[in-house]
Amino acid sequence: MIKVSGCCDGCGKEAHRRNIREFFNIRLDRFGKVSEFDFCPDCMCELAELPGLMDDKIKELLKRHGR
């Protein structure tokens, strides 16, 4: 079961009963620390276009969206 926090960690778009299946949950395990992020389809497309490793992509996306 995918657990979504209620909104996109990138842009802040809210997850509702109708669109929750569209959201993606990304789990990163780096240096023993687990981080989980929930992204809407628009932010996932933006992540796919960014170069680099996933954690660098997420940092750039969050910076772009002011989070």
3-state secondary structure 9-64: CCCCCECCCCCHHHCEEEEEEECCEEEEEEECHHHHHHHHHCCCCHHHHHHHHHHH
Model confidence at 66: pLDDT above 60:
yes
11-61 pLDDT tens trace: 999 888 788 888 998 988 877 888 889 999 999 999 999 999 998 999 999
The per-residue pLDDT for 1 is 46
Q: How confident is the model at residue 41, as a pLDDT?
A: 94
Global pTM exceeds 0.95: no
Whether residue 4 is predicted with pLDDT greater than 80 in this model: the reply is: no
Range of the structural domain that residue 43 is part of: 1-67
Domain count for the chain: 1
